[in-house]
Structure 1
Amino acid sequence: MSVWDDLVGQEPVVAQLSSAAANDGDPAHAWLFTGPPGAGYVTAARAFAAALQCTEIPRGCGHCASCHQVLQGTHADVEVVRPEGLSFGVREARALVLRAGSTPTGSRWQIVLFEQAERATEGAANALLKSIEEPPSRTVWLLCTPSPEDLPVTVQSRCRPATLQTPPVDGIADMLVQREGVDRETAEVLARAAQGHIGRARRLAADPEVRRTRDEVMAVPRRLTGVSAAVAAAAILVKAAEAERDARTVELGESERTALRQALGESAKGRMPRGTAGALTDLEKRQKSRATRVMRDALDRTLLDLASYYRDVLTLQLGAGSDLVNVDLGPELRTAAGNGRPEVTLRRLDAIMACRERLDANVNPLLAFEALTLALRTG
């Protein structure tokens, strides 16, 4: 067992990080972890943080107290930043710089692990730049983002890159068999359906509701029998995303409000001290922003699943010989390919990408998806 065990198919990056962790004198003061969504670049950054704080030789043993604390998110000298909303602003960035300058309490390094660093605004990135460029001698920054281009060039150039690749299907299937207890045939189906996203593969394997939601999405092409059916299909997809949003945010939001009210001095009768309204309002804004992000992520995943369906159809129509993503739908995909033309399938893929652009432009999700399902019906 080691801290690197959860990295699937990333042997070059593991070798790079292991070597850097072993160099106690200079592991580089700032790192940029990038890769396709789901490849595990945040997991790699967390494993590297654990290896840097590890008290054993070789570094990254996975069983010492420091490794456990880092991997569980409780290490006092590892500051994990997870933007709750759609952006990470200047005020948060300045507070983070102050924390990053702290002296380690009992470890070798003060580490800042910034997940989804692409959410930093331009002003926030500029506020972080000075600390990333010239951090205190015992501070290490670990920035995580899908692509280097998501950050300003000035920040990119100050970081050492750790670039992950899309994990191979066989590697993900092996992980599902070993970690989730899935039989080999099912593991291969789920590994392909996850399209290289390890977290998605694990959720598909572990949660029947996640599989049911995906089945709803993949059933859309055969439901588009008329205008009313297309509109109904759009509503089903949006409601599924709303249900996921509520499931992930409602309970958490209530616990956050309760904890904050108690911390601010709520009385036994539920009354709040004067001057606390602003803190409660700020929390509500962050929660609303987080709910919006979760909703957008769910809708985007729906679009990617739909795109994989028509990608498979196009692959069959062109005789490309590539492996299917949705191998469990093989007969249906072959029928759809035989009944259609490549140019129509391409227009449908374009419609999916257009829907993504509309959502990025804050178009009402239901309207965007109704336009999409109607376009998919007509081709």
Structure 2
Amino acid sequence: MSVWSELTGQRAAIELFREAARASVDPAGGVAGSGQRMTHSWLVTGPPGSGRSNLAYAFATALIAGDPDGDETTRIQVEARSHPDLHVLATEGVIIKRDDVRDIVKRSHYAPSVGAHRVIIVEDADRMTEQTSNFLLKELEEPPERTVWILCAPSDADLIPTIRSRVRTVRLQVPSVADVAELLERRDGVDPVLAERAARESQSHIGMAHRLATSADARARREETLRLALGVRSASSAVATAARLLELAGDDAKAITALRDQEEREHALRSLGLAPGQAVPAALRGQIKALEDDQKRRATRSLRDGIDRILVDLASLFRDVLVVQLGADVPLVNRELGDELDRAAAAATPAATLATLDAIQIARTRIEGNVQPTLAIEAMLVAAIRRPTPIRGAA
């Protein structure tokens, strides 16, 4: 099975990476007639859910295996993040600091252990501080011959210009709803109707589409979020709704992290030679404490991501309201809420709906800038209050 078979909607990028992987083992450094050449510093950009990390790991598999389609053994090790020639720089916090980079830079200078290349993947490279970016700069300029850096970020504009000038950028597009639905059917065995709805409601975000397709609780939380927003009629209801939305974001974050946290803890205990239920010796408690601290930082980030996801869903809701108001021939994201969308469209003008969409974006910006989420969401919901609009000429 090709390492690329579980990816979707990125045909041009996949072909480029396959050609580069083939070029990496060609003595001439290129593929006849392809125009492709291998470079040792890459940047993969694309919106959240476009699959940039998945593509980075698939490319890493091909490079390490020395085969443009990878091999099964390397794929399994890369997916488990256990291959000795793969190093991943990620953070459960808000930023990647210089200290986070220091150790992985040292490892980048080792020759590959068993593979054709040593690959370093930097997830969320946009979270690097400027000091960290400058520290990494020299490594991107002159990496060892068989070391490859792959950075991932939403946009090349999220990185400093000197980094951008030293990497080859591959820009991903948003997969189509049909592409994501087909992936859910093929990979996860999801019913076609549910797969299409999950792909549409996630707005082609592959990870979110998977969650909506496989978790009834996630679908229920999303639907409650939208109905709550449509039911805001006063400042007091805006305050109550904001509190409930934060509860839903918290529930969603816990659902995402709880299983992963438990699996990580069990794996850590096994690796330390401890049986299930066995007390942790004092000498090993520091390692378990470090793991718990990492999990707490991840929970904080997961909550922030959950709040932002709610705001993205609300933006899709009021985008649909605007489509109904304008009578535009554009597919609705939340078409199952047809009657509610019609009522919301009749309760305000298009200008008011545009103001609501602006308020949602302002709330996202404020929360990103560390404004208290409760205050930001309350202000947004006040702007979203729907009041019946008088009809001109009515008696």
Fold shared per TM-score above 0.5? yes
Q: Secondary structure at the match of 1:377?
A: coil
CA distance in 2, matches of 1:303, 1:197: 14
The question of whether the paired residues in 1 share the 8 Å contact of 2:233 and 2:386 is answered with no
Q: Secondary structure at the match of 1:65?
A: helix
Q: Which residue of 2 is the match for residue 104 of structure 1?
A: 112
How far the C-alpha of 1:269 sits from its partner, in A, is: 7.7
CA distance in 2, matches of 1:308, 1:207: 20
Q: Does 1:94 align with 2:113?
A: no
The question of whether the paired residues in 2 share the 8 Å contact of 1:39 and 1:165 is answered with yes
Root-mean-square deviation (Å): 2.7
> Which has the higher mean CA deviation after the structures are superposed, 30-39 or 243-252?
243-252
How far the C-alpha of 1:295 sits from its partner, in A, is: 0.9
Which amino acid in 2 is paired with 1:306?
Answer: L
CA 1:170/1:122 → structure 2, altered by over 3 Å: closer, same or farther?
same
How far the C-alpha of 1:280 sits from its partner, in A, is: 7.7
Q: Does 1:338 align with 2:349?
A: no
Which amino acid in 2 is paired with 1:9?
Answer: G
Q: Does 1:13 align with 2:13?
A: yes
CA distance in 1, matches of 2:126, 2:257: 22
CA distance in 1, matches of 2:335, 2:329: 13
Q: Does 1:54 align with 2:65?
A: yes
2:219 corresponds, among 211, 221, 238, to 211
Q: Which residue of 1 is the match for residue 139 of structure 2?
A: 131
CA distance in 2, matches of 1:307, 1:349: 6
The question of whether the paired residues in 2 share the 8 Å contact of 1:173 and 1:184 is answered with yes
Taking the TM superposition and a 5 Å limit, the aligned residue runs for 1:190-205 are: 190-205=198-213
Q: Secondary structure at the match of 1:144?
A: strand
Q: Secondary structure at the match of 1:76?
A: coil
Which blocks of at least 5 consecutive residues in structure 1 are unaligned?
A: none
CA 1:248/1:9 → structure 2, altered by over 3 Å: closer, same or farther?
closer
Q: Which residue of 1 is the match for residue 40 of structure 2?
A: 29
CA distance in 2, matches of 1:119, 1:101: 23
The question of whether the paired residues in 2 share the 8 Å contact of 1:190 and 1:204 is answered with yes
CA distance in 1, matches of 2:170, 2:337: 36
CA 1:256/1:165 → structure 2, altered by over 3 Å: closer, same or farther?
closer
**Percent of aligned pairs with the same amino acid:** 41
Q: Which residue of 1 is the match for residue 306 of structure 2?
A: 298
Q: Which residue of 2 is the match for residue 289 of structure 1?
A: 297
Aligned residues: 372
The question of whether the paired residues in 2 share the 8 Å contact of 1:55 and 1:64 is answered with no
How far the C-alpha of 1:209 sits from its partner, in A, is: 1.4
Taking the TM superposition and a 5 Å limit, the aligned residue runs for 1:111-126 are: 111-126=119-134
**Deviations for 1:194-221, whole angstroms, at most 9, x for unmatched residues?**
1121111111101111111111111123
How far the C-alpha of 1:271 sits from its partner, in A, is: 6.8
CA 1:333/1:68 → structure 2, altered by over 3 Å: closer, same or farther?
same
CA distance in 2, matches of 1:256, 1:198: 24
CA 1:249/1:184 → structure 2, altered by over 3 Å: closer, same or farther?
closer
TM-score relative to the length of structure 1:
0.89
CA distance in 1, matches of 2:219, 2:279: 44
The question of whether the paired residues in 2 share the 8 Å contact of 1:33 and 1:161 is answered with yes
Which amino acid in 2 is paired with 1:230?
Answer: A
CA 1:271/1:106 → structure 2, altered by over 3 Å: closer, same or farther?
closer
CA 1:341/1:17 → structure 2, altered by over 3 Å: closer, same or farther?
same
How far the C-alpha of 1:366 sits from its partner, in A, is: 2.0
CA distance in 2, matches of 1:254, 1:193: 29
Q: Which residue of 2 is the match for residue 320 of structure 1?
A: 328
The question of whether the paired residues in 2 share the 8 Å contact of 1:6 and 1:43 is answered with no
CA 1:191/1:252 → structure 2, altered by over 3 Å: closer, same or farther?
closer
CA distance in 1, matches of 2:103, 2:372: 34
Q: Secondary structure at the match of 1:140?
A: strand
2:228 corresponds, among 206, 220, 226, to 220
CA 1:340/1:378 → structure 2, altered by over 3 Å: closer, same or farther?
closer
The question of whether the paired residues in 2 share the 8 Å contact of 1:224 and 1:377 is answered with yes
Q: Which residue of 2 is the match for residue 373 of structure 1?
A: 381
Which blocks of at least 5 consecutive residues in structure 2 are unaligned?
A: 30-37, 388-395
CA distance in 2, matches of 1:325, 1:352: 17
Which amino acid in 1 is paired with 2:73?
Answer: A
TM-score relative to the length of structure 2:
0.86
Q: Which residue of 2 is the match for residue 237 of structure 1?
A: 245
**Deviations for 1:266-290, whole angstroms, at most 9, x for unmatched residues?**
xx9867459x97x788666544432
Q: Which residue of 2 is the match for residue 45 of structure 1?
A: 56
How far the C-alpha of 1:368 sits from its partner, in A, is: 2.2
